[in-house]
Chain A
């Protein structure tokens, strides 16, 4: 059983650019969530995808968008980068079972994004 992987590990961009971060879910998982973790803060929920559909969104502007693919891998896209977007971006996968009630999430190592 493989864990959650993310790429790239580190990324440096300049303000106004666009970035795509990638996540490969843990085998057998059908749900993926993305979080932004600023320095000294807890993870903040960006959005969640279940079966390729957005299934919840946090308080982030539309320039944060995502995709989930049939193999349950996922992308996070951020347009028009701002300095405050500098953070660790975490991907978490889980198995959603209707009626099961909870999502135990398994996190990847994260992508460290620096916006200059």
Chain B
């Protein structure tokens, strides 16, 4: 079985400071890893993905994530936070097990960026 852990329910950061939202995963075989963002009363918006290749993945809105196989982590980062980045962030993992690539989502981390 595959699983995702987002150990922080909430992350607070001041505008202009770097931010990190943590994610660790467990999966059989090679992981496919995703980050999504959800604004209030909205569906999930895709930010970035890791399938293979470079461990540092760049995505939308200046976000990036680093895949660390030894630590089974895929932390989301941004060098300089904006107030508009305040939202709910979900990490997800899937694998080709059974050919379905069905993702498992974490519980989400609420990011609050203070002016």
Contacts and interface: CB of A to CB of B under 8 A. Distances in A.
A80 B98 CA distance: 31
Given A102-B32, A102-B51, A42 B106 contact: yes
B29 to A, nearest CB: 12
A101 B102 CA distance: 11
Contacts of B32: 101-102
Contact of B43 (A55, A102, A108): A108
Given A42-B107, A48-B100, A90 B51 contact: no
A101 B44 contact: no
Interface size class of A (residues with CB under 8 A): 20 to 34
A46 to B, nearest CB: 10
A89 B34 CA distance: 20
Given A42-B90, A101-B51, A107 B44 contact: yes
Given A42-B108, A102-B94, A4 B46 contact: no
Interface of A: 4, 6, 33, 35, 40-45, 48, 55-56, 58, 90, 92, 101-110, 112
Q: Closest 9 CB pairs between A and B?
A: A42-B105, A107-B43, A56-B100, A107-B44, A109-B43, A42-B107, A43-B105, A56-B102, A103-B101
10 contacts: A42-B90, A42-B105, A43-B90, A48-B102, A90-B44, A102-B32, A102-B51, A105-B46, A105-B103, A110-B42
